């Protein structure tokens, strides 16, 4: 949806106001936006972005004179920069989304573990604005709003669930140039996103997030550094077994491989990530590690064996294929039945043992709560 509150928060993704501190202020006019990267990374938090003016079904930037579309028919505002910012993820491709498929159901299993860690560590207040950075179809934005927070989502690909488009504010935009005013969302989160970016892209996203949450805001991230614990050897063994079973046709290993197919994995270590955060004006307030032992057995192996066996017995092919062309939605897979959903929720509690038992053991995947650094 496109609410009045969202329209108060949006801004031109590429234009900065002239006012700033002594280091980042600039003469008025669009020429000052040419130094965007330097000005946005200023230690003060950078200048605010230029507020957009509502004009019927578009938003107009008085600085660069560009108009952005309000796709009211599809339930989102299209605020992606007119020019390229960096590499474009495969997730922006309609055919890729169709192959990946999306289930219109609440998050379960490891996705629920991550969502619940976000809610615990970020702890948004009722009525507080929360932004999902890289929201995908919008499932987690829907979940984030269950406790009364006013959730919104932004993603470079506009393949949003109809339920999300009707219930939460959605924006098509590039995380490296967020189209929001300073402090517009005091709470924000990013799950399974940073690993898709190169190092400059990671810093750009962190810089943009810092400005968007404001000086007292908080940012939650789930991603991974390129290191591992002794426990991770067990997971790698399960993954090798899963690949063999996939080649034998006993499990569907393609979807997981597809999901990770454009990972860049620019974060070399936790110290490297902290250095990138410092460059963006952020610091780590809390961190928990995600050593997956129970998940590896239950979700990555056992559940996939069960699902593939069930497909073979039923011969089911999945949900309705989408129409093609402008504004086409990505394929939505059938939602699980009530018994299947109840079983998945029960297994989710089992998967949470990975955080309870092993959350203090340093490994690559981690949950992090970030806050702006004091000047």
Task: Write the pLDDT tens digit of every residue in 137-165.
Answer: 999 999 998 888 999 999 999 899 999 99
pLDDT at 329: 54
Q: Angle 109-122/338-351 helices, nearest 10 degrees?
A: 60
C-alpha–C-alpha distance, residues 347 and 373, integer Å = 39
Task: Using the predicted structure, report yes or no on whether residue 111 has a pLDDT greater than 90.
Answer: yes
- Summarize the confidence of residues 71-82 as an average pLDDT: 95
Higher-confidence position of 309 and 6: 6
- As a whole number of Å, the CA-based R_g of the chain is 21
**Which pTM was predicted?**
0.91
Q: How many residues appear in the chain?
A: 375
Instruction: Say whether 308 sits in a helix, a strand or coil.
Output: helix
pLDDT band at residue 332 under the 50/70/90 scheme = low
In the DSSP assignment, the letter for residue 180 is: B
Lookup: tokens for 113: 């573990």
pLDDT of residue 13: 97
Among 166, 189, 199, smallest CA distance to 277 is for 199
């Amino acid at each position: 949806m496109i609410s009045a509150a969202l329209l108060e928060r949006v801004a031109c993704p590429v234009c900065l106001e002239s006012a700033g501190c002594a280091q980042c202020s600039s003469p008025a006019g669009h020429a000052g936006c040419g130094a965007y990267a330097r000005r946005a990374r200023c230690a003060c938090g950078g200048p605010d972005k230029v507020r957009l003016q509502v004009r019927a079904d578009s938003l107009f930037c008085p600085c660069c004179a560009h108009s952005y579309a309000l796709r009211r028919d599809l339930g989102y505002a299209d605020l992606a920069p007119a020019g390229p910012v960096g590499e474009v993820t495969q997730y922006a491709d309609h055919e890729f989304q169709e192959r990946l498929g999306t289930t219109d159901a609440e998050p379960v299993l490891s996705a629920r573990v991550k969502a619940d860690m976000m809610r615990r560590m970020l702890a948004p207040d009722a009525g507080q604005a929360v932004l999902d950075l890289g929201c995908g179809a919008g499932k987690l934005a829907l979940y984030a709003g269950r406790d009364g927070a006013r959730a919104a989502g932004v993603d470079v690909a506009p393949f949003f669930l109809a339920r999300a488009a009707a219930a939460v504010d959605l924006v098509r935009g590039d995380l490296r140039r967020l189209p929001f005013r300073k402090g517009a969302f005091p709470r924000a989160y990013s799950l399974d996103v940073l690993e898709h970016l190169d190092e400059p892209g990671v810093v750009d996203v962190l810089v943009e997030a810092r400005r968007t949450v404001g000086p007292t805001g908080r940012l939650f991230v789930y991603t991974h550094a390129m290191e591992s614990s002794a426990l991770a050897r067990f997971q790698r063994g399960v993954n090798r077994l899963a690949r063999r079973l996939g080649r034998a046709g006993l499990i569907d290993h393609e979807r997981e491989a597809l999901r990770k197919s454009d990972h860049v994995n620019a974060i070399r270590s936790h110290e490297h990530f902290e250095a990138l955060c410092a460059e963006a004006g952020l610091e780590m307030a809390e961190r928990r590690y995600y050593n997956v032992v129970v998940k590896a057995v239950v979700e990555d192996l056992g559940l996939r064996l069960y699902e593939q066996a069930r497909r073979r017995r039923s011969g089911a092919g999945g949900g309705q294929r989408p129409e093609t062309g402008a504004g086409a939605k990505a394929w939505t897979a059938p939602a699980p039945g009530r018994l299947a959903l109840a079983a998945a929720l029960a297994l989710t509690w089992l998967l949470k043992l990975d955080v309870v038992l092993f959350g203090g053991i340093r490994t690559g995947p981690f949950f992090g709560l970030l806050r702006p650094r004091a000047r």
